[in-house]
Structure 1
């Protein structure tokens, strides 16, 4: 029989391939051996730790080991870091500017989120002016206008049962983005397109999250045959073909790209759509889907994190009435009157409200984990070096709750954590809700003004309460952090 011979050759082949891989990776394995190495399973490594659990639970498990921690997703090693010193090294290293491969699962490959470093540098330089202080000052009136509309919508919930207002807030921030970034007044708060956009984003992100936590779906050759791929494709096609094409036609993007005035230096002409048009023109002919991908990213990135943070802050204030009252007193002092316009200067002076938002982002960061790839060996300290071509996972959620950094009450909601004297005692990379270093969030200034003005309007108009307690809050599964039981609050109109 020839079967024993085939089996022998097959076994020898497997041994040879395994030996070759081990030999070529010997330097990498030696570096990883100096790190914490939790017990793993053959073939799948630590992939089972991601099954049917929340991302918070997974981070808590790996964060229980001394940082850095070696994580094996199948044959692919990753390094997870949970200490601010290592985070500072990674986020500022020119060899860690590349995003992890998993970012490609969001289907915007040539945008700021996950573009190769050489492409990202050009995009960042081109789009930076769109988020300058001068531009933010010009768009604050739009924030106010959309917030006033939201107040009329929220009035219908006054005196009724607890309500999760997240969808209404998401539509408000969506409205802000379309007008401030694209000069489109689509009235998303009342339009069916607003609801449609949110449904598309929710379904798409759920599928992307599942893929990130399911290692066999990583290879595109396999994933493109799954039902999940077809659903993701349907989501993106629907959004591109309906909402974003409507935006493109409204602003006549093709004409803008071809006729953008390079010599025009007025403030108005440095908004997002102008800067993007100028950049796209410099790239020569560019596929239509790439143009729409840039649109998609700015809408999603600017909408989800801002609205979810405001919803979470509302819930935190509802749980802590004494903190809510202090916010209300500050808002009344800085910008008194139920309907008074909140200027950029007013927003900057709402220092306690900012501390509340920061504490919200500390305890429940919308982006609980960051990912980079080391393109060369990166020395963290005298003991540990991250090998080249290794994925790096930064556990923001775990760092933000580390008792060694935040003290024995790290799980408690306390805005005083961000008093200047307390901030000065901590490592600057102990708090990284918008990432940090050269490849941090481009729209962080936009987000801060949007969140502060929106939350100020809400607290000024309504007294918030809830039956939910902080120790009852459960984190939902996903790449973006959400709450399993939503954000239920009761609204009472302030006298």
Structure 2
């Protein structure tokens, strides 16, 4: 009898659920779907593999989307639309401001930082963060990027024997050191340690988050707690939070003492005089000092900046080095530019050098085009909305903006869209019909505030390495570079960025 009632209740609930969503099903049916779509599961079965398989599936769906500009994708009962057309993307990023529910897994780790926060929280924090990322302030961090990248270059000497090795630990240690010094005002010295608990915890947490996003059985909290990943996540959160909380408490005390010792100084820090100020200093001041952000809000913003800044920059550097190894002529042209700017001296990079390193700028941007560290953006559709293409997205669905796909769409980049060609970004050639055709740091109102910061960090690292070493052993005859990639929130090389270095003969 009880079983009979359960069956009836299940059937009634299913009927009610489908009736409630009939508008969604009607509109979804008008939009093309992939051939791999199955009843009930949709495309969920294509994400059962590892992180490389997940990335391969999303690349495949991006290519399918190029044929129509958009496709639907059911992930079980959850409906998504994968969009690659830049005109539709522009409208989507301006209209759909709310982050998708999948971001809740990231929020559980780092909280409501500006990148992942709901709109209600994001609006207030964006206004506070924007002045902190002005060019005049960001350029004051060049000395940090220069010092830390030179330290990385020196550490790489022990690996520069022509043999292949994974450069990832060097890159992520460099970016963590640079980020911690600029964001928190802390000298982490990850490059001087064999193991960094903070970095290890951060990388592990990113893996767990990605598992939860693509493995449906790990999404419900009550079930997730039964898996070993739950303890791994709990321990990792403890490491990140305790370290950051300690830094914030010390910084508040430091600023309090500074204020007491200089009562005549204005309570607000002078934003034009940030020689040694970190983003944490600025967040405390810009949010209202002691009456501004509380410690939890500070932790959320600091962790968001730290996690995003560490991984995105390290991935971009790694991809650039792999590309330079594949195309020796490009690498030697870049080296010639570095010698022209720096000469034979070992002087550190200064802010004036960036404007002179025009070929480096093109190389980095072309690498970001083909291999954007964040290849997808997911937003929530709150009400039925029509895109410029004519398709109507139903309320309750989600939009997956494929940056990876938009960057490779031959309709906008030409028949050689897959090829690596830095000269695409020559001023006389770079004339896109829509800015969303190239958006490695997102676009629209919620774009990344730290894109200039990231570019400066990446260029400092690449220039420091290529000045002193040659990337060898990766030569590729095809103009379209092939790299096996995996998705762990960021898009990373499967091989852990294995390269081989040789010291430059001039050393």
TM-score normalised according to structure 2 size:
0.88
Which residue matches 1:482?
492
Residue pair 1:475, 1:483 contacting (<8 A) in 2 also: yes
- Number of corresponding residues: 487
Find 2:30's aligned residue among 23, 28, 34.
34
Q: CA 1:325–1:468 in structure 2 vs 1: closer, same or farther (change >3 Å)?
A: closer
In structure 1, list runs of 5 or more residues that go unmatched.
none
Secondary structure of the residue that 2:72 maps to in structure 1? strand
In the TM superposition, residue 240 of structure 1 has moved relative to its aligned partner by 2.1
Deviation digits for residues 54-106 of structure 1 (CA, Å, limit 9, x no counterpart): 2332123323142321111221111111211111111122xx11111111211
CA distance in 1, matches of 2:258, 2:15: 56
TM superposition shift of 1:23: 2.4
Give the corresponding residue for 2:179.
177
**Distance apart, 1:253 and its partner CA:** 6.0
> Aligned ranges for residues 109-258 of structure 1 at < 5 Å?
109-191=111-193, 195-241=196-242, 243-252=243-252
- The one-character-per-residue Cα deviations of 1:430-485 (angstroms, maximum 9, x if unpaired) are 11111111101111110111111221121112222123647652112433111122
Q: What is the match of residue 99 of structure 2? A: 99
Q: Please tell me whether residue 55 in structure 1 is matched to residue 62 in structure 2.
A: no
Retained in 2: the 8 A contact 1:257–1:277? no
Aligned to 1:398: 405
CA distance in 2, matches of 1:228, 1:21: 32
Residue 493 of structure 1 deviates from its aligned partner by 2.3
8 Å CA contact 2:372–2:491 kept in 1: the answer is yes
Alpha-carbon distance change, 438 to 254 in structure 1, aligned in 2, over 3 angstroms: farther
Q: Which residue of 1 aligns with 2:263?
A: none
**How far did residue 265 of structure 1 move?**
2.7
Written as runs of structure 1 = structure 2, the 5 A alignment for 1:439-478 is 439-467=446-474, 469=476, 473-478=483-488
1:17–1:52: structure 2 CA closer, same or farther, 3 Å change rule?
same
> Any idea what the Cα deviations from partners look like across 1:376-398, whole Å, max 9, x if unmatched?
33221262121223211111222
Q: Contact 2:212 / 2:219 at 8 angstroms: preserved in 1?
A: yes
Change (3 A) 1:392 1:134: same
C-alpha distance after superposition, 1:102-160 (max 9, x if no partner): 11211223111211112111111111122111112212111111122122111222234
Counterpart Cα distance in 1 of 2:350 and 2:250? 29
Q: Secondary structure at the residue paired with 1:161?
A: strand
Deviations 1:260-282 (A, max 9, x none): 96433342357411232135557
Moved more, 425-434 or 249-258: 249-258
Q: Which residue of 2 is the match for residue 22 of structure 1? A: 18
Structure 1 stretches of at least 4 aligned residues deviating more than 6 Å after TM superposition: 257-260
Q: Structure 1 residues 229 and 120, CA, compared in 2 at 3 Å: closer, same or farther? A: same
- For the pair 1:326 / 2:333, whether they are aligned, the reply is yes
CA distance in structure 1 between the aligned counterparts of 2:153 and 2:220, rounded to whole angstroms: 46
Give the secondary-structure state (helix, strand or coil) at the position aligned to 1:389: coil
Distance 1:59 1:454, change over 3 A: same
* Distance change in 2, residues 1:199/1:290 (3 Å): same
Q: 1:46, 1:258 → 2: CA distance?
A: 57
Encode CA deviations 1:328-369: one digit per residue, 9 max, x unaligned: 122222332332232222113312111111111111211111
Question: Would you say the 8 A contact 2:42–2:76 is kept in 1?
Answer: yes
Match of 1:267? 272
Indicate how the Cα distance of structure 1 residues 257 and 377 shifts in structure 2: closer, same or farther if over 3 A, else same.
farther
Judging changes above 3 Å, is the alpha-carbon distance between structure 1 residues 398 and 306 closer, same or farther for their aligned structure 2 residues?
Answer: same
Residues 386 and 282 (structure 1), Cα distance of their counterparts in 2 relative to 1, 3 Å cut? farther
Q: Deviations over 1:211-270 (max 9, x none)?
A: 1111122222332333212211111112222x3244335424696699796433342357
Name the SS of the counterpart of 1:162 in structure 2: strand
SS in structure 1 at match of 2:192: coil
- Aligned counterparts of 1:382 and 1:34: Cα–Cα separation in 2: 13
State how far apart, in whole Å, the 2-side matches of 1:355 and 1:175 are: 26
Contact kept? 1:34, 1:383, Cα under 8 Å: no
2:162/2:472 contact within 8 Å kept? no
Distance 1:328 1:212, change over 3 A: same
Q: Does 1:389 align with 2:396?
A: yes
Please give the secondary structure, in 1, of the residue aligned with 2:398: strand
Match in the other structure for 2:110:
108
Provide the rounded CA distance (Å) in 1 between the counterparts of 2:448 and 2:254: 27
Structure 2 unaligned spans of 5+: 261-265
Q: Does 1:87 align with 2:89?
A: yes
CA distance in 1, matches of 2:256, 2:171: 31
Q: CA deviation at 1:187?
A: 2.2
Cα separation, 2, equivalents of 1:350 and 1:285: 40
Aligned residues: CA RMSD: 2.6
What TM-score do you get using the length of structure 1 for normalisation? 0.90
SS at match of 2:429: helix
Contact 2:269 2:282 in 1 (8 A): no
Q: Please, which moves more after superposition, 411-420 or 355-364?
A: 411-420
